[in-house]
Amino acid sequence: MQQPIQPVRGMNDVLPADIAAWQRLERIARELFTAYAYQEIRVPIVEHTALFKRSIGEFTDIVQKEMFTFEDPGGDSLTLRPEATAGIVRAMISNGLLHNQRQRVWCAGPMFRHEKPQRGRFRQFHQLDVEAFGYAGPDIDAELIMLSARLLDRLGVKRVELNLNSLGTPASRRVYRDDLVAYFSAHKQRLDADSLRRLEGNPLRILDSKNPELADLIAGAPVLTDYLDPPSREHFEGVCRHLDGVGIKYVINPRLVRGLDYYSHTVFEWLTTELGSQGAVCSGGRYDGLVEQLGGEPTPAMGWALGEERIVELLRVQGMVEPPTVPDVYFVIAGARAQAEGLTLAEGLRDALPALKLETHCGGGSFKSQLKRADKSGARFALILGDTEAERRVVGLKSLRVEAPQIEVPWEAVAAELRSRLSEQG
Ligand code: ATP
Ligand code: MG
């Protein structure tokens, strides 16, 4: 026997038994994105490493230690995308989509970060991602948050809290940053290794530390809100006013910063306490400087990303388990003549009933063994075709879930019979 190949650590299979929850999430998201006039964009999973260094920031955890970076056979340094925004901005610029234009787009797919795998934290994970380009006002910030709220609501996610903050402009943040460095430097002996590293490159990120031993120290740190300049304050008040207007509840959390450097003004996170320490299920914010930073024309922008694994897990924890899809009808086919006719009959049914979930038995075997499989499949009905039925151009129709006599139906009447049976409850 060969040794089985192991999966890559932190990279998961989504098995057929669990796929229904994923499909529902993605279907509802797609419907809502379309309803809000966002269009899908698909960008490569691999980009030049420089893209992420320039956008996410040299001093972020992602760039410093979490990227899957490799040299391709041509000697270029490439990276598996750790997030979607950078690639989407790159695509906007590469394709000239921002020249005197506004864009509302969404994107879905796998992201890669070399993090320590644990519940809700993986090395390959999936995001649904929404971005709007060319809108400077607080109305789009609010709309994007409303969209995320509606999505969570429609999915049936319960007990999530919207945390909101403003990071202001880079100028106002610089003053704050200096004061923050002074504060943490005065307490250097209490910082952990990660925070000491951040103190040099990215002190705001210390506020985002998940180390409980730092909670006290962080609670006493200066608050960014006190440093906002009047235009930043006005923008933030605008966002809050719009959210109040539609009755979306939020908590202003002055310590909310994000793990990526490109944010300015609005940042937000939907948090749950029901997934252990991996509490963020959807996060985003405004990133007005990024397009220019990546070589495009200055363009205000805002977006968010939702972690699909975390949402699916939260729905599971909250008892919103999707039953796996089962066929409506299992088609039992036994005998040489029946086999010759069976697949043709099945194709005819698929033509007549496009939504029909029909599993035809393949691989032969007795009626008895096939009916066992039919029962196990979860189907409501079995169609039964043996040689004698084939000869008479009829098929047996048996109810598998409720007690009812088996009947015989002529081939040309099967589609109509199934249509009416399947529309009945039970
Ligand atoms: P966290 O603070 O939990 O590390 P983050 O701030 O790094 O999250 P973002 O970069 O904003 O996360 O990504 C958006 C969303 O993607 C997060 O809210 C989360 O739901 C999900 N996510 C991020 N990293 C992972 C991961 N390693 N595994 C699974 N989901 C993730
Ligand atoms: Mg992270």
**Residues near ligand 2 ion, CB 5 Å cutoff:** 259
Counting ligands in written order, which one lies closest to the CA of residue 114? 1
What ligand has the least distance to the C-alpha of 122? 1
Interatomic CA distance for residues 372 and 359, integer angstroms: 14
Are residues 383 and 327 in contact, defined by beta-carbon separation less than 8 angstroms? no
pLDDT of 105-139, one tens digit each? 999 999 999 999 999 999 999 999 999 999 999 99
| Model pLDDT, residue 29 | 98
Q: What is the pLDDT of residue 259?
A: 62
220 in Cβ contact with 250 (< 8 Å)? no
pLDDT at 28: 98
C-beta of 85 in contact with ligand 1 (< 6 A): no
307 alpha carbon to ligand 1 midpoint, in Å?
Answer: 6
Assess contact for 107 and 33: CB atoms under 8 A. no
Q: What is the largest CA-CA distance in the chain?
A: 92
Taking the CA of residue 113 as reference, the ligand 1 atom at the shortest distance is 27
- Identify the residue whose C-alpha is closest to ligand 1 atom 28: 121
CB 397 near ligand 1, within 6 Å:
no
Q: Ligand 2 mean position to 326 CA, how many Å?
A: 37
Q: What's the CA gap between 191 and 197, in Å, rounded?
A: 10
Does ligand 1 lie within 6 Å of residue 134's CB atom? no
Q: pLDDT value at position 157?
A: 97
In this structure, the residue with its CA closest to atom 25 of ligand 1 is: 121
User: What are residue 281's phi and psi, to 5 degrees?
Assistant: -100, -20
pLDDT at 72: 97
CA atoms within 13 A on the CB side of 233: 8
Which residues is 398 bridged to in the sheet? 382
- Taking the mean position of all CA atoms in its chain, how far away is CA 49? 23
CA distances from 414 to 224, 352, 396, 403, 409 (A): 69, 10, 10, 20, 6
Atom of ligand 1 nearest to the CA of 62: 7
Q: How far is CA 288 from CA 54, 179, 208, 218, in A?
A: 15, 24, 21, 27
Q: Is 83 in the pocket of ligand 1 (CB under 6 A)?
A: yes
Q: Is the CB of 144 under 6 A from ligand 1?
A: no
Which ligand has the nearest atom to the CA of 65?
A: 2
Tell me what pLDDT residue 127 has: 98
The torsion angle over the Cα atoms of residues 334, 338, 343 and 349, rounded to 10 degrees, is -100
Cβ–Cβ < 8 Å for 359, 331: yes
Q: Measured between alpha carbons, how far is 253 from 349 in angstroms, rounded to an integer?
A: 57
Residue pair 317/369 in contact (Cβ under 8 Å)? The answer is: no
> Does pTM surpass 0.75?
yes
Nearest listed ligand to the Cα of residue 258: 1
- Asked whether 330 and 367 are in contact (CB, 8 A), the reply is no
Q: Measured from the CA of 281, which atom of ligand 1 is nearest? A: 20
Pocket test for ligand 1, best of 62, 283, 287, 309 (most atoms within 8 A of CB): 283
For residue 281, give the amino acid letter.
V
Closest C-alpha to 62, from 228, 262, 251? 262
What residue spans of 134-214 are helical by DSSP H?
Answer: 138-155, 170-186, 193-201
Given a cut of 50, the residues of the chain with pLDDT beneath it are none
Ligand 1 pocket: which of 125, 167, 277, 304 to mutate (most atoms <8 Å of CB)? 125
